[in-house]
Structure 1
Amino acid sequence: MKVWLYYRLSRDEDAELNSLNNQRNILVEYANANNHEIVGESFDDNVSGMHFNREGISKIYEQVENKAIDAIIVKDLSRLGRHRTQTAMFIDYLREHDVRVLSVTENIDTSNEDDDLMIGFKGIFNDMYARDISKKIRAGYKQKQKNGIVITVPLGLLMCDKEVIEV
């Protein structure tokens, strides 16, 4: 089977446990152990799974449209996406093109109807996790502001009386 490897890392995850290299190694090992032919790979670094406007996902669309792959291998479904609706729509798109998603650590295969319930539950949990983290980050920013800690704009720019000042 011709497979595509996809891995993603967002800011909020532990660097050692979920590093891109670690994810890639897990996927390559799985593909080799199951005699799959790796025809390519893509990844997204420091990118949220709450949207699908990602370079790595765009490359998957290209491969699917070119009928170049039979499956996508991911470490777990949260690497594919955390937004339950968009992830479900993407999986449906892949199914319509006879492309499976193989989740290594969850032992899920989207071509297996028996896994549909688990895919649905994983989608809900992944979505809730992302929304919970987002709430906690916003609460942390608000508390820092209350404590007088100024959160500055990256790139070293400040706005001062509608005038941009380079720092």
Structure 2
Amino acid sequence: MKTAIIYARVSTTKEQQETSLKRQLEELAGLAAENNMTVVRTISEKASGYDLDRQGVFELLDSMKEFKADAVLIQDETRLGRGNAKIALLHCIYKEGARIFSISHRGELELSEADSMVLEIVSIVEEYQRKLHNLKIKRGMKKAVKNGYRPQDHLVPFHDGTGKERKDVPLEEIVRLRARKLTFHEIAATLRGVGYDVSKATVHRRYQEYIQKEEQTNERP
């Protein structure tokens, strides 16, 4: 069964808005049932739609990552926000791979032509920013290597327990690039460009090992 997060918002604390908030939550619960979705988190707040610095917004984004939710349920798109705040949140939600369902459409949200165009432009710009960043890193590393820098001299080879020597991989660089939202494919391509014979699978495996080690460290008293 698909999972969903309910998000409801009103702009003021007036009594009639309290009623509106309660009605939103009831209708959204019904929308989830109609679409055979399990609600994993319900978020409601009283705040201006023009304000992006809202507690509910951050709860929504955190919950999407925590539960890997398939959908976000709202009364209508203005509940997410107004103006640029709305566009920013729509972009964040779609970037997480979730769908948006609304009461106003009795199903999946249908964006206006203008909003769809803006979101497409934002995605294109973001993609080219990432490509430019990758090229900048690649050129910088090539220049450093040309000037005598040997990244492999700063690594200590070790074995993976199978008797096979593990490939030299700059873990710190992988973590840094991953933090900048590069995909494992892009990270592998960047490293190969400066002399590291690594695959996407190797980069992914080393990153997962790093995450597991960090989690174990944080769990220690």
SS for the counterpart of 1:116 is coil
Relative to its length, the structure with more strand (as a share) is 1
Residue aligning to 1:57? 57
SS for the counterpart of 1:38 is strand
Residue aligning to 2:22? 21
Offset, 1:30: 0.9
Question: Residues 5, 12 of structure 1: CA spacing in aligned structure 2 closer, same or farther, 3 A cutoff?
Answer: same
Residue aligning to 1:117? 112
Consecutive unaligned residues of structure 2, counting only runs of 5 or more, are 119-221
Residue aligning to 1:91? 90
Residue type of the partner of 1:117?
A: S
In structure 2, distance between residues paired with 1:119 and 1:106:
18
In structure 2, distance between residues paired with 1:63 and 1:108:
21
Residue type of the partner of 2:52?
A: F
Larger relative contact order (CA 8 Å, sep ≥ 6): 1
Offset, 1:11: 2.2
Offset, 1:67: 4.7
Residue aligning to 2:144? none
Residue aligning to 1:139? none
1:122-153 CA-partner distances (Å, limit 9, x unpaired) = x9xxxxxxxxxxxxxxxxxxxxxxxxxxxxxx
Alpha carbons 1:6, 1:42 under 8 Å: kept: yes
Residue aligning to 1:4? 5
Offset, 1:14: 8.0
Structure exhibiting the larger radius of gyration computed from Cα positions? 2
Residue aligning to 1:73? 73
SS for the counterpart of 2:111 is helix
Question: Residues 49, 31 of structure 1: CA spacing in aligned structure 2 closer, same or farther, 3 A cutoff?
Answer: same
Offset, 1:64: 2.1
Equivalent residue pairs, number: 116
Question: Residues 98, 13 of structure 1: CA spacing in aligned structure 2 closer, same or farther, 3 A cutoff?
Answer: farther
Scaled by the length of structure 1, the TM-score of the pair is 0.60
In structure 1, distance between residues paired with 2:114 and 2:25:
22
Alpha carbons 2:7, 2:73 under 8 Å: kept: yes
Alpha carbons 1:9, 1:18 under 8 Å: kept: no
Scaled by the length of structure 2, the TM-score of the pair is 0.46
In structure 1, distance between residues paired with 2:36 and 2:107:
17
1:93-118 CA-partner distances (Å, limit 9, x unpaired) = 211110112111134635xxxx3335
Alpha carbons 2:80, 2:89 under 8 Å: kept: no
In structure 2, distance between residues paired with 1:11 and 1:73:
21
RMSD: 2.7
In structure 2, distance between residues paired with 1:67 and 1:93:
15
Question: Residues 108, 33 of structure 1: CA spacing in aligned structure 2 closer, same or farther, 3 A cutoff?
Answer: closer
